[in-house]
Structure 1
Amino acid sequence: MTPADPHAWFPQFYGNPAIRTLASACRWTISGQLGEETPGDSAKPPKHKVPIDVRHLLAGCTSSCKHPGSLRGAFALDETCLLTLDELTAAIPDAANAAFYLQAQADGLLVLDIEPSCPPAVAADLLRLQGTLYSELSMSSRGFHLIMPLPENFHDFPAAADKRVLREEHGWYELLLDHWSTFTRQPVPDHIVAHVDTATTTPAFPSIEDLYAQLAVNAGESSGASASAVDTAEDMPDIPYSQAIVEQTLASAHRQLRDPGDFNHDMSRWEFSVLASLYAWMRTQLRAYSALGVEYSSGDTAWLLYQAALAVIPARPKHSERRNGRAFLLDRAAALVADREARATSAN
């Protein structure tokens, strides 16, 4: 152990199992102010954090660089600009922070960011969430970061699952799903932990599933992309060219579908990925047949997507459940169609 060994300075961070899960992803850097010359100066945290191109910093600026100082912002979320955590720690052991680009669906984790403006009672409730894997102080020392496992009901809200951030209506806290998170590595002080541990009131959110559901429902309502927005008949209607569309979709998507192992065998996450991939290929087929003068409703598209999904997704007990009065997978297909059509509408 050397005097500049960050593992000794921040053992709760570097030894944490959740952090170690993320450590091998090449999405780590430090946050600093562009033009700042000393990103390792922990005594002066930047007022406006910007994830930097750490590989460029380590390579050194040349006369051809067209930006002030030794820093430039990270413009890619891979090894072009970023490092693994171990590489970052070895290269800049005295860094003021460790910034990570979280991709919740790939990483299986999310970050709960509690803002300094959050009322103490609400913050204390959130700090009591069951299943918290890691917690720390934010850069202001008045907020908190919590790493949580991906909620079991994550894919029950497709409109929310594709958001980058889910924010509480007052801005008191937010769930980061596809976003930068800057870790201070500073543990929550003992007196706050003691206060939280001795609380006897019933928490507002007993689990991350409860918290996620509340924020996800609001996200779905605001986007207008709820599953109920797509009307599907009790039985599959007579859809022109339905067999050809399903067969051609399956033939096109076959080699593109990911394996359950890519999602640590989380079947809900894998099924959502399959539906999204099938939908993308199916849109190509629907556009081709629409050119012949056929009109396909959202309900038609959901039924076709459902039929394609049945061909590649193995049956499991959950599929026997009903949601919104229809088969579980049909409802998931309807939810994805609603979300994608809402996105297309907002983009136009």
Structure 2
Amino acid sequence: MGTIAELEEKLSQPSKRLISDMAKIEGDIMILGLGGKMGPTLAKLAKRAVDAAGLHRRIIGASRFSNKGLHQELTDFGIECIPVDLLDDEALMKLPDARNVIYMAGNKFGTVGNEHFTWAMNAYLPGRVSEKYRNSNVVVFSTGNVYPFMPIDSGGATEKIKPSPIGEYAQSCLGRERVFEHFSVKNGTKMLLYRLNYALDLRYGVLLEVAKAVASQNPIDLSMGFVNVIWQGDANEYAIRSLLHCESPAKKLNITGPEIVAVQWLAEEFGELLGKAPIFENRPSETALLNNSARAYKLFGDPSVSLAEMIRWTAHWVKTGGEQLGKPTHFQERKGNF
């Protein structure tokens, strides 16, 4: 892949298993918070799956759409785009009803110094959305940050591990989950809490950050020495298919790649592909933010894109000067400050 068009074609190509499951999903799909890193390709993936299944269902997206070009691009693709500030209660309540909702709204970066807004987005808004879409199936994007750091040899946190979020961002994400859980019980709304880390495409993500550091000969901090990653296309597919697995009380599901990846090994792999010797600083800690997604693979099957493919594609993207979003993950953060 050498162009944005080729990348987005890959990210939005529906698999046979997605097309099959889309035929089982009844009703339209509303995506709240469409304008983030993952939303546009998730909407395109859903639209292509609907078309491939020969269905007549609406894919609707609500977002501020500060990027007017994105609004036009998605509209041209056949997605119904609604510009809205979701914190405007009157505007939220006027949104179309939908049998299925994928909730992607939230705030992470810039939390320090603006904590009130993060809590409003991550913990207040879910209550209003829960009232608006009380009769829908709701997949709620959450994060593995709600878990404590896990020992490297633990296999990662399963859904049975008790949340222990570090820092205000992660605390507000647990707040989001608890509010949605409350309304799932109160109203009988079927929900799934989608605990994701770390999704990537070639324009952003952990692999891009490590590859860039190797290429530019910047030191790589090993204090968070291990990570999970998953291809964004697979994460988006799992999110759509999760609409078939919503429950009341809300179901919890971890989503990430199958490997626990050593950052040092990852940098050395990029070093070979890019012809640069990586530079390291600090030593790996004995714990890291790690998830175990075995439960998801039992439901959906293994990811379609392997770690080896993601590494190779990312190295090529960096070599050829591919476009970047400029949105770092801050995966190295161990104190929860975002």
User: How high is the TM-score relative to the length of structure 2?
Assistant: 0.26
Query: Larger relative contact order (C-alpha < 8 A, sep ≥ 6)?
Result: 2
